[in-house]
Amino acid sequence: MKRPNLSPRPFRALAARFVAALVLTAAAALPAAAQEHGRIEVGSGVSYQAIGRWDTARLDSVASTEAPTFFGIDSAAPPARNAVKLYRVTYPSVVPERGNRPIVATGLLAIPDTDATRFPLLSYQHGTVYGKQQVPSFPDQSPETALALARFAAQGYIVIGADYFGMGSSTEPEGYLVKESHQQATFDMISASRAVLAHLKLTAGKLVLGGWSQGGFVTMALLEKLESAGVKVAGAATASAPVDGFLCLNGFLFFPRANDANWVNSLFVLTAFSFENYYGVPGLARSLLTTEAYEAGRKIYEREPVEAADLPTDLHKLIQPDYFDPQFFAASAYGRILKERTNAYRWVITTPVRNYYGEDDEVIATDFGKLAASYQHAMGAGNSRVEAISTGKTNHRGTYATAIPEWKAWFDSLPDD
C-alpha cells in the first residue's frame, strides 16, 4: 500500500519527476557493459546479472533531493560512504497456494562497492505498486527502493528485495496480500542471495528485515516463516504495516475516516483478483465488484491501459451492495480468505520488532498501526519484544521516510552474532 492516490495514471504522474531524475542520473552511472552483461549461473537454478552501479553522488542525490521531494519529508542523511553495485537475481520458487507449483522469480541484490567481504544484510519488502517494474530489481523505477539503497547500501549494508510473484520479470499473475506466496518469494530470495554472495566470495552478517505498507505486511509474514524455520533474525522493522487485511478492509467499509485515501479502491481490486487466481475461486472478483467497476479493475490488475476515472473511488459504486452488511462480508468467500489468510502478527514473536506508524496516515489508522504490539503485549505479563513507535503527524509516505533512518540506527545497534 502506498500514498497518495495510486490509481495507475495519477500514481505515474506523481512519480514521474522522481523516476525521471532516477533514470537520468543513473544513466551516467550505468556502464554499457553492465547493461549488456549476461546472467551468471551459480547452481540450483539461481543466477544473477549486473544491472548497474550507483556512485556516491547518485546515492547522495536520492537521499538529499529526490526522496524528500517524493515522500514529502526532508531529513538529514549522512553522505554515502561507498558506491553500490546492483544485480538482478533470478531464482526458482514455488506457489504454496497452488500445490507448490514451480515458478521463477526475481529480486534485487545491492552490494557495497568496497574491499570488505562481510556485510550486514537487509531484506527490504516493497509496498504496493501499479507498474509491473516499479519493484526492487528495477530500482530506477522504485523510489522506495532507491531510498533504502541510499540509507542502507550506501552505508555498508547489503540490501536485497524480492519482486513478489507476478512482479518484476515474473510471468505469474500478481499475488497481492497472498500471504504464503509472499513468504515463499522473500524466503527463497534470501537463500538465492546467499548463494550469489558465496559465488562472489562475500559473506552476509546479521540479517535484518524492513518493509513499508504492503511490504510491512510481507515483512511480518516473512519473519513468521523465518522464525518457524529456525533462521535467526537480528531485528525487523516496518512502517505503516497492514498486519491484518480483514481488519484493514473492514475499516474502510464500515468505519471510514475523513482522511481515508481515495485510492483504497485499488486494495479491494488487487486482493479480489489475486485471491481468485491464487486460491482457485473462479468468479470471486466479479462477485465483489460492481458491473461498472469490474472491467477497469481487471485492467488495473492485469496492467492494461486504463483511465483512473474508470474505477470508482466511492466504495458504494465499486463494491456490490451485499458486502456492506458486516455479516455478509465476513461470511463471503472473499471475507473468509481475508479473515483466515491475511494476518501477520498472531504468533509468539521471538525477534525484536519495531512497528512504526504515522498519526496522520490515510491508510493505516493509529490503533491499527499498534495492532501487532498490542496483541503481543496482551499475552499474560506481555511480550515486550514488539514495540509500536509513532513517527508523529506523518502521512503514509511520510511515515516511511521518517522511519527509515530510525530503522538504520536501531539495526546498527543490534549484535552481529
State how far the Cα of 278 lies from the Cα of 176, in Å rounded to an integer. 9
- For 311, residues 6+ apart whose C-beta sits below 8 A from its C-beta are 7, 265, 266, 269, 293, 296, 297, 300, 318
Question: Which helix (DSSP H) or strand (DSSP E) does residue 326 occupy?
Answer: helix 326-331
User: In this predicted structure, what is the pLDDT of residue 37?
Assistant: 54
What amino acid is encoded at 29 in this protein? A
Q: Is the pLDDT of residue 53 over 70?
A: yes
For residue 417, what pLDDT is reported? 75
- Give dist(CA 260, CA 252) in Å, integer: 8
Angle between helices 143-151 and 396-413 (to 10 degrees): 30
- Which residues 6+ apart lie within 8 Å of 135 measured at CB? 126, 129, 141, 142, 145, 161, 163, 164, 167, 168
In this predicted model, what pLDDT tens digit does every residue of 76-92 receive, in sequence order? 899 999 999 999 999 99
The pLDDT of 357-372, averaged and rounded, is 98
pLDDT tens-place string over residues 248-297: 999 999 999 999 999 999 999 999 999 999 999 999 999 999 999 999 99
pLDDT at 148: 98
Tell me the pLDDT band of 344, cut-offs 50, 70 and 90: very high
Omega of the bond leading into 4 within 30 degrees of 0 (cis): yes
Burial of 341 (0-12, 13-18, 19+ CB in 10 A): middle
Beta bridge partners of 111: 85
pLDDT for 6 equals 37
Residue indicated by cell numbers 479491494: 268
Calpha distance 149→109 (Å, rounded): 10
- 162-173 burial string, b = 16+ CB within 10 Å, else e? bbbbbbbbbebb
- Superfamily designation of domain 35-244+350-413: Alpha/Beta hydrolase fold, catalytic domain (3.40.50.1820)
